[in-house]
Amino acid sequence: MDVEWTLTELVAEATRSIATLPPPKNGQVRAVPDERTVRYYGTLGLLDRPLAMRGRTALYGRRHLAQVVAIKRLQSAGKSLAEIQALWATLDDHTLARMSGVEVGKRAGRREFWKTPAVSTVAPSPRASAPYPVPPRSLPMPSSIPVELRVELAPGATLVLAVPPDASISPADVAALRAAAAALVTELAQRGLTLEAQ
């Protein structure tokens, strides 16, 4: 059975664990997190959901402690929260334990999932809601992800381009693309592959 700490107790445990770490390089980052900071980590998806709720009090365990300590270790190494978010999805319990120095209890991972017996075969009601809202993971979006741009060359013939997100296309560009594709559109029409040919 995992230990169960309130948020205040989790912060106290984290403070003891972090005391041996060097101070963060970034002067804007606190060396030791407070309760508000730990809650913020939860909204970013850097902290798992609480183990349980006792009334309105959330209870946390050793994995939560390991997550908080690992975040502070990475920040002390100069990593930003955005960089930590990108790394977070790749961490397993073993790596998290090594990074934080906190022993993490064994949890059912991908391999153990199939061995775990089902608790119930009855599907939950679609109206049932979680006991508390789950914040979406907000991972930083790279600025190099292309966007789809469509240029209609003829009825039934559309050119689809993957362009940088800041690219724009002018009417002159569209006219030039249509002129360059005229032979292709003619060939498609002759083969009955456009709406114009129907």
Domain boundaries defined on the chain: 7-109, 147-197
Does residue 170 surpass a pLDDT of 50? yes
pTM (predicted TM-score): 0.51
Structure tokens at 67: 């997550």
pLDDT at residue number 6:
94
Q: Which residues pair with 150 in a beta bridge?
A: 160
Digit-coded pLDDT (tens) for 23-68: 666 565 677 889 999 999 999 999 999 999 999 999 999 999 999 9
**For the chain, what is the HEC assignment?**
CCCCECHHHHHHHHHHHHCCCCCCCCCCCCCCCCHHHHHHHHHCCCCCCCCEEECCEEEECHHHHHHHHHHHHHHHCCCCHHHHHHHHCCCCHHHHHHHHCCCCCCCCCHHHHCCCCCCCCCCCCCCCCCCCCCCCCCCCCCCCCCEEEEEEEECCEEEEEEECCCCCCCHHHHHHHHHHCHHHHHHHHHCCCCHHHC
Residue 170 CA neighbour count, 13 Å, CB half: 3
Could you read off the pLDDT of 65-101 as tens digits, one per residue?
Answer: 999 999 988 888 888 888 898 888 778 888 888 888 8
Confidence of residue 1 (pLDDT cuts 50, 70, 90): low
pLDDT at residue 132, as a whole number: 41
Q: pLDDT tens, 120-158?
A: 444 444 444 444 444 444 444 444 556 667 777 777 788
| Structural contact between residues 74 and 26, judged by C-beta atoms closer than 8 angstroms | no
